[in-house]
Chain A
Amino acid sequence: MAGDLTQTLDPLLILVALAPFIAALFTPLLQRLIGSYAGWVLALVPAGIFAYLSSYLHPIATGTLVQGAIDWVPVYNLRLSFYLDGLSLTFALTIAGIGALVVLYAASYLKGHPHQGRFLAFLMAFMGAMLGLVLADNMLALFMFWELTSVTSFLLIGFDHSRQAARRGAIQALVVTNIGGMGLLAGVLLLQMIAGTWEMSAIGGVVRDSGLYGIVLACILLAAFTKSAQFPFHFWLPNAMEAPTPVSAFLHSATMVQAGVYLLARTTPFLGGTEIWTTLLVGFGGVTLIWGALGAMRQSDLKQMLAQTTIASLGLLVLLIGLGTETAILAMVAYFVAHALYKAAMFMIVGAVDHGTGTREITALGGLANVMPLTFFAAVLAGLAMVGLPPTIGFFAKEEMYLALANTEWQGILTLLVLVAGNALLGGVALLVVIKPFLGAMTETPRHAHEAPPAMLAGPILLAIAGVIGSIFIIGLADYILSPAASSIRGDYVESHLGWAIDLTSPVIWLSVATWILSGAVYYWAGAIRSGLRRASSALGWTADTVFDAVMFGLIRFAGAVTRWLHHGRLELYLVLVFVTLALALFVPLLGMGGLERLLPTAELGNWSAVLAWPDLRPYEWGVIALAVIGLGAVLMAPSRLVAILSLGVQGAAVALIFLLFGAPDLAFTQFMVEILSVVILTLVMTKLKLDERDPRHLEDLLRDGTLAVVCGAGVSLLLMVVLAGPLDTRLSDFFTATSVPIAHGANIVNVILVDYRGFDTLGEISVVMAAGIAIMALLRSRKKPAAPPKPRTRKAKGATA
């Protein structure tokens, strides 16, 4: 059936991804106008998207592919293209549906918070990024939305930016997921190179046979594993729990962390199915499942427990994608839906408990069922799904994943054992979260326990009930969501066999029963397991977290060391660096690129009389040049500064005379003027200052500076001689000379060039002079203000009155 997909065009698809961004723009304004009721209005956006996308359930189930695109960078043949198939539809519906409830929940959760508008705007922007990500067809668009989810989630996690823990969590999430983002960019570029297209839907099977397959796979896996918190990149996710609870419910259940899972599912048709794919995904997924589940048992903070179970669930999903069989993929989609529903509900429930009691510590809570009956009701339903008991989608997901591994070889049996162990641990955590806070004796809590407001209850109750209803109508759910999504991943039609007819003779159901019994056991011995795990982890002494800190601080130290090495604050060394570079720039072309060869051709080396002709200079020209040399020498040797300044005037006057002798009277006059002014001003200023007369230079500095100066001077001389040996391009000068009178009506060609042909240059020059004048004025005006001692001021004031 996958072969004969009908394709429909729907430009509105672009709006689905962009609408939340547009809404985000107006969110702060809306929040300012109507306060936390803004949540009810904003929730309409994802709700509308949900309704709109739902209309595609039937067409997609019957094999339609919906596409929409606009030109992005037409020059490079880039189109911002989106498409909707079973997989994108499932993810988009989850994002929009849970998104609507989370926005509602957040408006109530953060009621009265001064930055609620900002928060809701971040949330909407994140939703847009996520929808764009799962709908994108163009791989560069996919990458762009991928990075946008990282950036928006950074803003959300660090929302409470006055706390260091929140800042750290946000930076950690950003760093880790952006490393993956770079991997994704590299992978996407390689994919384009191999397949010659930016559209994922058009890649086909060429990648697996390419020699670059291994690198592409590594890049994509890096992206997916960092985003989906797979071992060993799992550590950022629990720290991201510093975010307000609605963020955790949204980002860390159904959306952001699932982006990696989505990427793996999306790339399965052209990357999946190889042995290395299966090995890596099953291996990393399995380790992550067990690691996360054990991590959850170690925690006693409800939110941290859920965060760790999310890591475990992500591992489970990756493992199932790695297996890649029809049953495994169907189980993966079912588990994704079940998990999204119950995990978002669970986070919201924990948020409601926190909101109602003021604590999330599982050991400090008990007996809340009486005061928070509706929350308890939602918790029970969500807990059923998490344990995998009927009637929930979680039950079918678990059945299906066991079925995927029944009757296989030893690797399959091992994987099955990992699954059973992981599910049992997750079930135990679910029992803890549902039973401990709500049943038993009522305990004292920081806040007087009370039921959550309606907007905070709507989410968990609706989501938990959805999990039950979905399982009751499992055949419809399978036909419209699970099977189309699995078909998109597999690339050919996946027939669902899910139904309520339970075969008691199959080993699968008994594996489920075993899982439930083990879950109960885990619950019973939870305290012992927790203290055992804590002892083990403190015996280990370090975690991925400490490694991250060490790397980050090492980076700061390294940056500091590099800065101190390069920016040592000694001006003359900076200048030495500049002039060494100049010397290199002069001599490398001269020696390495044949510059000297042009000046002194080897063939003429013997013919000294031709090369060393006496320069054709007249006596007074020699005199002027001698004057310049004497002026320079006097500047260098001057015993006092006043003499040095006067010598400066001598060399300047010599330059002006050279200009005069060689046909540049304008230059000569300007030069005379400038030199006279410079000498006068310098002398005026110098007599006011009591300066040190000596030029403090040690012998080694003297040698270094002298050598560098001589080398640079010689380089400039040689370069100029090489230039003089070559031909002169006079086209510009000829043009100016020929057109000065006819076009510009000016006889002085230099003046015509300055004010006519290069008028804008002259304007720029005047601006520079003006800027310098203003800066000088500012420097002189600000003279007495900064550190004037108080005494003279009073005296001055007295003088003024007198």
Chain B
Amino acid sequence: MEHVLAILVGLFVALGIYLLLSRSVIRMLLGMVVLGNGVNLLIFTAGRLTREIAPIVPDGLSVPAGPIANPLPQALILTAIVIGFAMFSFLLVLAYRAYQTLDADNTDTMRLAEPDNAPNPPLSY
């Protein structure tokens, strides 16, 4: 069953990259979210799948009774989800401000830092 999820991960990554390659800033933002989900699933699947048994030690025991889901990828992904959300919010506000200031949500028209036909550096000492 992991192979089905592996293919699903591939779909997530492919769509994320496709959206990121767009010139529309909002689509790039969606791409970031999709790509992030894909990578989270990648880590999750790489840690092998176990159905329904959460990594929680039952009351009164010092170790779980039977096999449990791998807790390590879960810890990593939990961090990744939160950081991903922080990044998403920041990028969203950045895109919003860029739209307000430059009146554009298309990366082709956002050339303030690297303008077309930038002049040569001065030929002197």
Partner of B75, one of A723, A738, A750: A750
Q: Are B37 and A655 in contact (CB under 8 A)?
A: yes
Question: Which chain A residue has the least Cβ–Cβ distance from B30?
Answer: A648
Contact with A along B31-43 (1 / 0, CB 8 A): 0011001101110
Q: Nearest Cβ in chain B — how far from A647, in angstroms?
A: 9
Interface size on A, residues (CB 8 A): 111
**A581-628: which have CB < 8 Å to B?**
615-617, 621, 625, 628
| Contact of A689 with B by CB under 8 A | yes
Contacting B8 at CB < 8 Å: which of A628, A671, A677, A754? A628
Q: How far is the CA of A692 from the CA of B70 in the complex (A)?
A: 45
With CB as the reference atom, state the residue of chain B lying closest to A697: B22
Q: Is B92 a contact of A670 with CB atoms below 8 Å?
A: no
Residue of B nearest to A771 (CB): B86
* Contact A772:B24 (CB < 8 A) given known A667-B81, A738-B63, A762-B79: no
Question: Which residue in A629, A666, A691, A730 is a CB contact (below 8 Å) of B78?
Answer: A666
Contact B24 A664 (CB under 8 A): no
A779 touches B97 (CB 8 A): yes
Residues of B within 8 A of A557 (CB): 120, 123
Any B CB within 8 A of the CB of A635: yes
Taking the closest CB of chain A, its distance from the CB of B22, in whole angstroms, is: 6
A139 to B91, CA, bound (A): 54
Partner of B13 from A625, A629, A685, A713 at Cβ < 8 Å: A713
Contact, CB under 8 Å: B3 / A769: no
A545 to B100 Cα, complex, angstroms = 52
Chain A residues closer than 8 Å to B124, beta-carbon distance: 164
A85 to B34, CA, bound (A): 74
Q: Is A780 an interface residue (CB 8 A)?
A: yes
Contact assessment for A716 and B10 in the assembled complex, using a CB-CB cutoff below 8 Å: yes
Q: How far is the CA of A617 from the CA of B72 in the complex (A)?
A: 24
Once the chains bind, are B92 and A695 in contact (CB under 8 Å)?
A: no
Kindly state the separation between the CA atoms of A783 and B94 in the bound complex, as whole angstroms. Answer: 11
Which B residues lie within 8 Å of A695 (CB)?
A: 22, 24, 27
A709 with B51, Cβ < 8 A, contacts A652-B37, A749-B57 known: no
Give A155-198 interface residues, CB cut-off 8 Å to B.
164, 167-168, 171
Q: Closest chain A residue to B113 by CB distance?
A: A569
| A:684-701 near B, CB below 8 Å | 685-686, 688-689, 691-692, 695-697, 701
Are the C-beta atoms of B74 and A716 separated by less than 8 Å?
Answer: no
Residues of A close to B120: CB separation below 8 A: 556-557, 560
CB-based contact B81/A663 at 8 Å: no
Q: In the bound complex, how far is the Cα of B24 from the Cα of A701, in angstroms?
A: 13
Q: Mark B104-120, 1 if CB is under 8 A from A, else 0.
A: 01111011011110101
Chain A residues near B44 (CB-CB < 8 A): 658-659, 662, 664, 667
Q: Which chain A residues border B86 with CB–CB below 8 Å?
A: 768-769, 772-773
A223 → chain B, closest Cβ, in Å? Answer: 24
Q: State the Cβ distance, A622 to closest chain B Cβ, in Å.
A: 8
Quick check: is A448 within 8 A (CB to CB) of the other chain?
Answer: no
Are B46 and A677 in contact (CB-based, < 8 A)? Answer: no
Using Cβ atoms and an 8 Å threshold, which residues of chain A touch B4? 615, 617, 625
A658 to B106, CA, bound (A): 34
Q: Which of B26, B57, B96 contacts A641 (CB 8 A)?
A: B26
Q: Mark B1-24, 1 if CB is under 8 A from A, else 0.
A: 111111111111111011111111
Inside 8 A of B41's CB, which chain A residues have their CB?
A: 655, 658
24 A-B pairs in the complex with CB atoms less than 8 angstroms apart: A569-B114, A571-B23, A625-B4, A635-B30, A636-B18, A658-B41, A662-B44, A662-B49, A664-B74, A667-B78, A670-B81, A716-B9, A717-B10, A720-B46, A723-B46, A737-B71, A741-B57, A741-B62, A747-B59, A748-B57, A749-B55, A750-B75, A761-B79, A772-B87
The 8 A-B residue pairs whose C-beta atoms are closest, nearest first, are A713-B14, A663-B69, A717-B10, A569-B114, A709-B18, A772-B86, A753-B75, A168-B125
Beyond contacts A569-B115, A579-B21, A625-B5: 4 other A-B pairs, Cβ-Cβ < 8 A, are A662-B44, A667-B74, A709-B21, A783-B100
